[in-house]
């Protein structure tokens, strides 16, 4: 059994200090990147998504519709937690963490590349919601992957500190997105 996939911590020897540092750093960066992308959507929803994707509505209504797409991401998070959390138990935490980071990158990139309502009509806001759901599923699976990798690699007496490094990534990502 591989000692680096994190799928079966009960069967391997304790992680080296170097390994623990690497896992803590990857958890921190994972949380930073995911939360950056996920939060950045809020700023975009407040400023540009209304005019871009709901230009047929009044300004007030388009703002409400824009924020509804924001909420779709939060609705998708438990789905990501259930599906990707289960996969974390089946195929490994590390693999799930990697997949969620790629999912988030692809989802955010495609949102940035979307044509507007003026260009392709109703398909534009529908695709926006779809990619927001992808973002939500990714963020829903990523947190567990990062938290478990950190907790399972850390020596028991330092588990709180090591997992907290990953947790610090959440506000770091939020800060970067402002």
Could you list the residues that contact other proteins (CB under 8 A)?
8-10, 67, 71, 73-75, 77-78, 80-82, 84-89, 93, 96, 140-141, 143-145, 147-148, 150-152, 156-157, 159-160, 163-164, 166-168, 170-171
Shortest separation between residue 120's beta carbon and other proteins, angstroms: 28
Q: Could you give the CA distance from residue 30 to residue 77 in angstroms, rounded to a whole number?
A: 16
Compare residues 82 and 123 and give the one whose CB is closer to other proteins: 82
Report, in Å, the least distance between residue 54 CB and other proteins: 17
Residue 38 structure tokens? 């996920």
The CA-based angle 129-132-138, given to 5 degrees, is 145
CB 156 to other proteins: min, Å: 5
Considering beta carbons, is residue 55 or 129 the nearer one to other proteins?
A: 129
**Of 121 and 160, which has the nearer Cβ to other proteins?**
160
From residue 18, give the alpha-carbon distance in Å to each of 64, 101, 153, 161. Answer: 48, 23, 11, 15
Residues 142, 94: Cα–Cα separation, whole Å: 10
Given phi > 0 = left and psi -120 to 50 = alpha, else beta, which region is 112? alpha
User: For other proteins, which is the closer residue by CB, 78 or 109?
Assistant: 78
């Amino acid at each position: 059994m591989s000692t680096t996939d994190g799928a079966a911590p009960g069967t391997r020897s304790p992680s080296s200090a170097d390994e623990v540092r690497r896992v803590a750093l990857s958890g921190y960066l994972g949380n930073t990147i995911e939360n950056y992308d996920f939060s950045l959507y809020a700023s975009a929803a407040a400023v540009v998504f209304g005019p871009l994707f709901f230009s047929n509505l009044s300004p007030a209504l388009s703002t409400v519709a824009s924020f509804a797409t924001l909420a779709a991401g939060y609705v998708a998070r438990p789905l990501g937690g259930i599906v990707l959390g289960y996969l974390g138990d089946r195929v490994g935490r590390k693999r799930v963490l990697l997949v969620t980071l790629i999912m988030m990158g692809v989802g955010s990139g495609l949102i940035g590349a979307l044509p507007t309502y003026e260009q392709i009509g109703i398909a534009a806001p529908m695709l926006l919601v779809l990619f927001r759901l992808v973002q939500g599923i990714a963020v829903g699976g990523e947190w567990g992957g990062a938290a478990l990798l950190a907790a399972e690699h850390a020596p028991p007496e330092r588990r709180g500190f090591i997992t907290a490094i990953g947790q610090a990534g959440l506000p770091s990502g939020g800060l970067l997105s402002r």
